[in-house]
Amino acid sequence: MNPTHHPLDNRLPGMLRSGQRLRGIFNGIPSPALVEMCAFAGFDFVVIDNEHGSAGLETTEHMLRAARASGLPALVRCLEQDIARTLDLGASGLQIPMVNTAEHAAALVQRVKYPLPLGVAGVSGQRGSAFSSRAAGYGAFGGPQHTQRSNEGIALIVMIETPEAVANASAIAAVPGVDAVFVGPNDLAHTMGHENRWNEPPVQAAIEQAIRAVAAAGKCPGVLALTKDDEDRYANWGARFFASVTSGIINKALSDAATGGRSPVNY
């Protein structure tokens, strides 16, 4: 079986461990074509945003197909009640918002990982098994091989978005089965009382604290980076994967076209 034809793209955990800079993009617009455009533009991965986006599960499945067909690893940022079904759709990984403690992160690992057979080392979980899903090729690639491919090849990214989570960043990152920790600057700024002004010095200090703690724990720190200067600053603190937002990029391009580049855009 050619691995490029397998419905489950299992490259993300290795990419997150590589130490290389990775550039992804959040997409909350329910469009498989836009996912393909992100691939053709050269992004390292796409984050299908089902926390704030409007896609239902059927459209999410089509976006995952578009990502796989165009060679783009695809995370899904989803709410916790959607974890099981999103995994069965064939997501390359999950990004879960508002994780404040190591205990919460460990509980999420349990929901992402299948139970391991007796005598097999690794991170074991409690994910329910069904081999009729797209992730298992509707049964074509089910059984122990699917279990192993999923446990080793599906990434779990948890999000730090509150002062409590910043304080617990090292412990959260140290949880076995957590592949990366992403700092959400907008929500962090709001929960710190600064509205959306994440460039305020106290918010930037909290972002730096979280990124450095995650890096020191040996996991991949991620953060929203909308400019090259932002990316370089966060990279100097230890961040290794960065994300922008399709809607913001599209809005800015449209505003530039309409106003000659004179209209600011809020992300």
Annotated catalytic residue within 52, 62, 146, 190: 52
Q: How far is residue 142's CA from residue 258's CA, in Å, rounded to a whole number?
A: 51
Strands 180-183 and 155-160: parallel
| 169 class by beta-carbon count within 10 Å (0-12 exposed, 13-18 middle, 19+ buried) | buried
| 92 class by beta-carbon count within 10 Å (0-12 exposed, 13-18 middle, 19+ buried) | buried
Nearest CA to 185 among 124, 111, 118, 242?
242
Q: Is the dihedral of CA 208, 213, 218, 224 positive or negative?
A: negative
190 is catalytic: no
Q: What are φ and ψ of residue 47, in 5° steps?
A: -110, 105
Query: What CA dihedral angle connects 75, 38, 12 and 128, to 10 degrees?
Result: 30
CA angle, 51 then 45 then 29, to 5° = 40
> Rounded to whole angstroms, what are the CA distances from 157 to 108, 150, 188, 213?
10, 15, 17, 15
Contact call for residues 36 and 66 (beta carbons, < 8 A): yes
| Residue 71 DSSP symbol | T
Q: What are φ and ψ of residue 74, in 5° steps?
A: -130, 115
Task: For residue 79, give both structure tokens.
Answer: 């709410």
Task: For residue 132, give both structure tokens.
Answer: 């009729």
- Residues serving a catalytic function are 52
